[in-house]
Amino acid sequence: MRSIDGAVLDLKRLDLLATADSVIHRLDARAKVLTTLVFIVTVVSFNRYEFTALFPFFIYPVVTASLGNLPGGYIVRKIIMVIPFAFVVGMLNPIFDRELFVRIGPLAITGGWISCASIILRTVLTVGAAFILVGVTGFLSVCQALERLGTPRTFTVQLLFLYRYIFVLTEEGARASRARELRSCGRKGLGLASFGPLIGHLLIRTWLRAERIHMAMLARGFTGEFHSRQVSGFGWRELFYVAGWSAVFVVLRMENGAQWLGRLVTGGLS
């Protein structure tokens, strides 16, 4: 029960972080969405054996999170949650790709291990950028920015409803879990046999709750459009923000920043 309640509060924390006031928060949501999209496309455009060239891209999420005053530990914990899924995607690469890629003393590293590490690193970068985007913008503003950029309204509204339905599901799950614990008389639970009816009951309750929410929205004049209290425009600041970061991404994509820095350091030492 406490874990479900904690999950609800943890999900809501991203939206609470988006209500802060900082240089990044005050930018138009479209600028932040465009910059994040360029960042994600640039990161995933590397071939599967690129690894060191990805490290300089950490400059974007680190700088954005710092300027947005986001708690680093919270973002890191969110990213760690998705690393196992990325490892599952690339865990078979070392088995099928046994070609020797580099040898460090007695340690031989094959291309499969390099590609697996590259998948994990790209997942960390892209997922981290997505979490930071929501943390400095808010999910509602992100959906509205996508719509203003040309995304069909049906898609953005469905995306927003899906996000809101997560809270409905978790709240109803917390109530069902609390009732289940109260009926277990101090034991750990009622056994696996109770999970089937519990899940069915949970789906019915969330469906009815969602219908009541929808009826309340219609009663308040909902016409398929969500309105935000923050009204901003795309000005020179937003243009410089998108153009500046895009230029950085292109330079890092064309030139391996890690190797360039290594040559600079070794050349300076010699």
Q: Domain map of the chain by residue range?
A: 2-150+233-258
What distance lies between CA 36 and its chain's CA centroid?
Answer: 11
Residue 33 has pLDDT above 90, yes or no: yes
CA distance 225 to 81: 33
Residue 260 has pLDDT above 80, yes or no: no
| Banded pLDDT at 270 (limits 50, 70, 90) | very low
CA distance 60 to 246: 10
Phi/psi region, residue 70 (left: phi>0; alpha: psi -120 to 50; beta: rest), is beta
| Banded pLDDT at 246 (limits 50, 70, 90) | very high
Q: Does residue 173 or residue 163 have the better pLDDT?
A: 163
- Residue 208: other Cβ atoms inside 10 A: 11
Buried/exposed 98-120: b ≥16 CB within 10 Å, e otherwise: eeebeeeeeeeebbbbbbbbbbb
The 3-state secondary structure of the chain, one letter per residue: CHHHHHHHHHHHHHHHHCCCCCCCCCCCHHHHHHHHHHHHHHHHCCCCCCCHHHHHHHHHHHHHHHHCCCCHHHHHHHHHHHHHHHHHHHCCHHHHCCCEEEEECCEEEEHHHHHHHHHHHHHHHHHHHHHHHHHHHCHHHHHHHHHHCCCCHHHHHHHHHHHHHHHHHHHHHHHHHHHHHHCCCCCCCCCHHHHHHHHHHHHHHHHHHHHHHHHHHHHCCCCCCCCCCCCCCCCHHHHHHHHHHHHHHHHHHHCCHHHHHHHHHHHHHC
Longest pairwise C-alpha distance within the chain: 74
User: Each residue of 114-135: pLDDT tens digit?
Assistant: 888 889 999 999 999 999 998 9
User: Each residue of 181-222: pLDDT tens digit?
Assistant: 777 665 655 556 666 677 777 778 777 877 887 788 888 887
Q: Give the per-residue pLDDT at 217.
A: 80
Side-chain-facing half-sphere of 270: CA atoms under 13 Å = 6
Tokens 């000005």 sit at which residue?
A: 235
Mean per-residue pLDDT, 15-38:
89
Q: Give the per-residue pLDDT at 269.
A: 46
| Banded pLDDT at 1 (limits 50, 70, 90) | very low
Rg for the chain (alpha carbons), in Å?
23
Average pLDDT, the chain: 80
User: Each residue of 64-107: pLDDT tens digit?
Assistant: 999 998 888 888 888 888 888 888 888 887 787 777 777 777 77
CA distance 60 to 39: 8
